[in-house]
Amino acid sequence: MKILFVGGGNMCQAIVGGLVAKGFDAGAIHAIEPFADTRKALDRLGISSAPVFDVADLRADVVVLAVKPQSMKEALAPLAGRLNSQLVISIAAGVQCADMARWLSNGTSSYHNLVRAMPNTPALIRAGITGLFALEGVSVQGRVAAETLLGAVGETNWFEREAMLDAVTAVSGSGPAYVFYFIEALEQAALDMGFEPPVARKFALQTFLGGARLAAESDESPQTLRQRVTSKRGTTERAIETFDALAVKQHIIEGVKAACLRSRELGEEMRKAAESGVD
């Protein structure tokens, strides 16, 4: 399988690193990347790269679109009407399959061998999770190829409705920021209670790491695990009662829902901007 990346930034490098670590031939990967410094990073991964598209790049079996959402239409222009059966995988947030299919059209019909993926930043350390959606034109082999690529940087999960990728964006795409936000708060609480800064960070990080690992390795729900730590009239109960009085859980839920709504809005805004020629 030959792979062409359009865009060679962090996510491209993460996927390439994961593939190579699993034994994939780096010589079968090529990237189009305009920035020289980024191409040097790609060189260190053992893959070839070039600043502009060449017709020879169409020999790829899979094309991965790893550009910024607002640059998608421009990035697809050299490929429009030139693709045959190549699988196209987009990892750009918000850009809908219908728009990409139209931009890749040959003038008479849209291109439907398309998979849309929503990875998250822990993919950079191969601990990510990616939501996937495929158009009906994608074969079983195409789905397997998409799983292979994104599985190189973490877990994958298919969704039958593209609209669910807005929810994926809100839960896991933005999710690492929520984790960091909670760690910030725990670290600040430790500082307020007299911890030295390095020790405060160590306790906040390790507590979160340990708790997440315990939840991941347990067959019990997070709710059950929380209840086991929460003794009657104890310290944890007092903290949870305070969180509940402040509606912390509900506010988190509402925040995630707001992120989902914003994902939908951004997708529509980007579509309108691309169609009007506005950057």
Summarize pLDDT for 38-61 with one digit per residue, the tens.
999 999 999 999 999 999 999 999
What percent of the chain clears pLDDT 90, i.e. is strictly above it? 88
When pLDDT is cut at 50, 70 and 90, the band that residue 70 belongs to is confident
Distance in angstroms (rounded) separating the CA atoms of residues 198 and 191? 10
When pLDDT is cut at 50, 70 and 90, the band that residue 192 belongs to is very high
| Residue, of 257 and 273, whose pLDDT is higher | 257
pLDDT at 244 over 70: yes
Per-residue pLDDT, averaged over 165-191, amounts to 97
Summarize pLDDT for 215-239 with one digit per residue, the tens.
999 999 999 999 999 999 999 999 9
Distance in angstroms (rounded) separating the CA atoms of residues 123 and 173? 11
Q: What is the pLDDT of residue 15?
A: 96
Residue ranges of domains in the chain, CATH in brackets: 3-160 (3.40.50.720), 175-246 (1.10.3730.10)
Q: What average pLDDT does the chain have?
A: 94
Q: What is the pLDDT of residue 145?
A: 96
Q: What is the pLDDT of residue 273?
A: 80
Query: Which tokens is 182 given?
Result: 């909670």
pLDDT at 137 over 70: yes
Summarize pLDDT for 23-32 with one digit per residue, the tens.
999 999 999 9
Summarize pLDDT for 151-176 with one digit per residue, the tens.
999 999 999 999 999 999 999 999 99
Q: What is the pLDDT of residue 43?
A: 95
Q: What is the pLDDT of residue 106?
A: 80
Per-residue pLDDT, averaged over 121-134, amounts to 96
DSSP string, 65-126: E-S-GGGHHHHHGGGTTT-SS-EEEE--TT--HHHHHHHT--SSS----EEEEE--GGGGGT
Per-residue pLDDT, averaged over 95-100, amounts to 92
Q: What is the pLDDT of residue 279?
A: 46
Per-residue pLDDT, averaged over 163-191, amounts to 97
What residues form DSSP beta bridges with 67?
A: none
DSSP string, 147-208: HHHHHTTEEEEE-SSTTHHHHHIIIIISHHHHHHHHHHHHHHHHHHTT--HHHHHHHHHHHH
Q: What is the pLDDT of residue 277?
A: 64
Query: Which tokens is 102 given?
Result: 């139209």
Per-residue pLDDT, averaged over 114-126, amounts to 96
Helix axes 175-192, 248-276, angle to 10 degrees: 140
